[in-house]
Amino acid sequence: MDLQKRPWIAAATVALVATFAYGSAAHAQVTFASSQSDADVTYAADVATIIQNNCQVCHRAGGIGPMELVTYEDVRLYAPLIKIKVVNRIMPPYYYDTDIGIQELKHDWRLSQEDINTIAAWVDQGAPLGNPDDMPPPVELRATDEWSLAADFGPPDILAPSTPIDVPASGLDLWHRPVVKMVGVPDGERCIKALQVKPRGKAVTVVHHANSTFQRLQDDGSFRGTGDRATEYAMGKLGEIIPEGVCRVLPADTYIRWDIHMYPGGLGKTAVNDVIEANVVDLAIWLHPADYEYEYKQDLVSYNFMEGKRDLLIPPNGSLMTQGFRSWDHPVRIDSFQPHGHLRLRSASLEIYYPKTRRTEIISMVSNWSATWHQSHIYEDHVAPLIPTGAMLIMKQWFDNTSGNPNNPDPDQWVDYGSRTADEMSHFWLGVTHLDEEGYERLVAEREAAEEEQRIATRN
Ligand code: HEC
């Protein structure tokens, strides 16, 4: 997402303007303006570009946002609400704390503080249009039914739509687990570059999650899992991008088993509350070429906090904290982090404990988690945490079953472990590259060398 630097922020001078109320010195007022040129913030010159680059992908005709933010008139109508959502970092919907842990993430939708300040200043000034000549040309957005990751990787190599199923307007949770043939599968085993899952059309608000695993056809006509997961999707998630140089395996001759969880009527502000006929969830896979070279395997695994015991129980009007630990007998690199929970989950953190130094480091924190916006937070390659053998991941989640939780449908219920949206779960999806000691040492040395280079460059 583009940033636009405006001189009025950089050059902010504190101006002291004294105004005297008419007729009476006793009512003298002193007004502090944060910047002499604040008045210059206009839609055309300052705000339009931010809205184009960060909001219109969803807030346009056919987009998933509840209203359009395309013309000045659209945006002006919602200006006060936009300020609230943007200043509180609720929009764009990417929830990841800005002041703790690793901040360099791929496909990060967060606005810069500078853009947030620009929008807030514009709204405070009455949301003026400014000079229409300053207006940037309209942006060309991809069609709403196109794959978002096609912008990075081109058209997908493989498609695997689920079989259609009708979802009623209301009622209990539904699950759909068809096995389907993939279209475009090459011969032999290959390495996956990226994956994206997308419920078709209006189904976005009724599909809570859609997991996919690879299956092989047996001689007796049944299917058996290969042990490899294709991907995981949960509401609001963009997709998975596998780092360069490693392999997430696409086994040869496989089918996809879908595990789709639907919530009739839908969840969130844009819930359809209507019958959805022939709901289909699509999976797209981008592959590396057959001669792609790699050293290590990468996988996506759900690390459950409850170690299979599933003894999660939240009292009415109460809260609960869960904690899970994980270590490996070889070094690993954590490539992505995605907390999973339902309507009572409010926050999650990922920490590393290093036995050698006996210190803990927070690497990611989401303190405003929402079940309508699952994201796989994908670390930039040069900062993805490298975990030495024996170091421990500490995974924490906090559940709020009080009326203070805006997502809570009923604070008077006991909440148990389970798959329904009204139940809770406690796990993280982690993309993990499995290294060996030599590879770990090499990556650490490469990063240290890059840091040293940076130090020298900034010194000169
Ligand atoms: C990925 C899609 C997406 C992006 C990007 C996005 N929005 Fe939204 N927005 C939504 C959805 C969906 C909702 C409905 C509430 C929800 O589901 O969280 C929403 C809700 C809102 C609301 C509240 C509407 C209401 O009636 O309560 C405002 C205001 C808003 N968005 C403004 C923005 C602005 C401003 C930006 C860019 C800075 C933005 N959004 C970026 C999808 C998006």
Output the residue whose Cα is nearest ligand 1's atom 16.
Answer: 269
Output the residue whose Cα is nearest ligand 1's atom 33.
Answer: 91
Nearest ligand 1 atom to alpha carbon 84: 29
**Cα 60 from Cα 62, distance rounded (Å):** 6
Q: Which of 2, 3, 58 to mutate to test the pocket of ligand 1 (most atoms within 8 A of CB)?
A: 58
Output the residue whose Cα is nearest ligand 1's atom 12.
Answer: 65
- At 28 the pLDDT is 36
- pTM for this prediction: 0.85
Residue type, 273: N
Nearest ligand 1 atom to alpha carbon 370: 18
Ligand 1 interacting residues, C-beta cut-off 6 A:
54-55, 57-59, 64-66, 78, 81-82, 85-86, 91-93, 109, 111, 268-270, 372
pLDDT tens digits for the chain (460 residues)? Answer: 433 333 333 333 222 222 223 333 333 333 333 443 455 899 999 999 999 999 998 899 888 888 999 999 999 999 999 999 999 999 999 999 999 999 999 989 999 999 999 999 999 999 999 999 999 999 988 887 889 899 899 999 999 999 999 999 999 899 999 999 999 988 999 999 999 999 987 788 888 889 999 999 999 999 998 888 888 888 878 888 999 999 999 998 899 999 999 989 887 777 888 898 989 999 999 999 999 999 999 999 888 887 655 678 999 999 999 999 999 999 999 999 999 999 999 999 999 999 999 999 999 999 999 988 888 999 999 999 999 999 999 999 999 999 999 999 999 999 999 888 889 999 999 999 999 999 999 999 999 999 999 888 887 6
- At 141 the pLDDT is 84
CA atoms within 13 A on the CB side of 222: 3
- At 460 the pLDDT is 64
> Residue 250: phi, psi to the nearest 5?
-105, 105
**Cα 405 from Cα 179, distance rounded (Å):** 38
The alpha carbon of 59 and the centre of ligand 1 are apart by a number of angstroms equal to: 7
Rounded to 5°, the CA angle 34-38-43 comes to 145
**Cα 46 from Cα 335, distance rounded (Å):** 35
* Positive or negative: CA dihedral 376, 100, 329, 441: positive
Question: Tokens for 107?
Answer: 């496909």
| CA nearest to 345, candidates 393, 280, 399, 394 | 399
Residue 437: left (phi > 0), alpha (psi -120 to 50), or beta?
alpha
The alpha carbon of 52 and the centre of ligand 1 are apart by a number of angstroms equal to: 13
Rounded to 5°, the CA angle 406-80-127 comes to 160
**Cα 351 from Cα 364, distance rounded (Å):** 7
Q: Which CATH class is domain 296-460?
A: mainly beta
The alpha carbon of 90 and the centre of ligand 1 are apart by a number of angstroms equal to: 8
| CA nearest to 242, candidates 177, 180, 153 | 153
| CA nearest to 237, candidates 371, 327, 98 | 371
The alpha carbon of 243 and the centre of ligand 1 are apart by a number of angstroms equal to: 29
Nearest ligand 1 atom to alpha carbon 81: 29
Output the residue whose Cα is nearest ligand 1's atom 13.
Answer: 65
Is residue 34 within 8 Å of 14, Cβ to Cβ? yes
The alpha carbon of 334 and the centre of ligand 1 are apart by a number of angstroms equal to: 30
The alpha carbon of 91 and the centre of ligand 1 are apart by a number of angstroms equal to: 5
Nearest ligand 1 atom to alpha carbon 372: 17
Q: Which of 67, 71, 91 to mutate to test the pocket of ligand 1 (most atoms within 8 A of CB)?
A: 91
Q: Which residues contact 199 (CB under 8 A, 6 or more apart)?
A: 206, 207, 210, 279, 280, 281, 282
For residue 129, give Cα distances in angstroms to 51, 74, 79, 104, 140: 14, 12, 12, 34, 22
Cβ atoms < 10 Å from Cβ of 183: 11
Q: Which of 59, 206, 267 to mutate to test the pocket of ligand 1 (most atoms within 8 A of CB)?
A: 59
Nearest ligand 1 atom to alpha carbon 50: 38
The alpha carbon of 67 and the centre of ligand 1 are apart by a number of angstroms equal to: 8
Is residue 281 within 8 Å of 200, Cβ to Cβ? yes
Residues listed for the chain: 460
The alpha carbon of 128 and the centre of ligand 1 are apart by a number of angstroms equal to: 21
**Cα 317 from Cα 315, distance rounded (Å):** 6
Output the residue whose Cα is nearest ligand 1's atom 15.
Answer: 269
Residue 48: left (phi > 0), alpha (psi -120 to 50), or beta?
alpha
Q: Which residues contact 441 (CB under 8 A, 6 or more apart)?
A: none
**Long-range contacts for 355-362 (Cβ within 8 Å, ≥24 apart)?**
355/390, 355/391, 355/392, 356/388, 356/391, 360/394, 362/100, 362/101
**Cα 384 from Cα 334, distance rounded (Å):** 6
- At 112 the pLDDT is 96
- At 243 the pLDDT is 92
- At 268 the pLDDT is 75
For residue 260, give Cα distances in angstroms to 61, 149, 172, 210, 460: 27, 22, 14, 4, 56
Distance separating the N- and C-terminal Cα atoms of the chain: 30
**Cα 411 from Cα 404, distance rounded (Å):** 9
| CA nearest to 65, candidates 5, 141, 137, 144 | 144
**Cα 63 from Cα 158, distance rounded (Å):** 25
- At 408 the pLDDT is 95
Is residue 140 within 8 Å of 53, Cβ to Cβ? no
Question: Tokens for 320?
Answer: 């609960």
Nearest ligand 1 atom to alpha carbon 268: 17
Is residue 236 within 8 Å of 64, Cβ to Cβ? no
Is residue 27 within 8 Å of 21, Cβ to Cβ? yes
CATH value of 156-294 in 1.20.1300, 3.40.630, 1.10.287, 2.60.120: 2.60.120
Is residue 359 within 8 Å of 427, Cβ to Cβ? no
The alpha carbon of 98 and the centre of ligand 1 are apart by a number of angstroms equal to: 19
Show me where the domains of the chain are located: 7-134, 156-294, 296-460
The alpha carbon of 361 and the centre of ligand 1 are apart by a number of angstroms equal to: 33
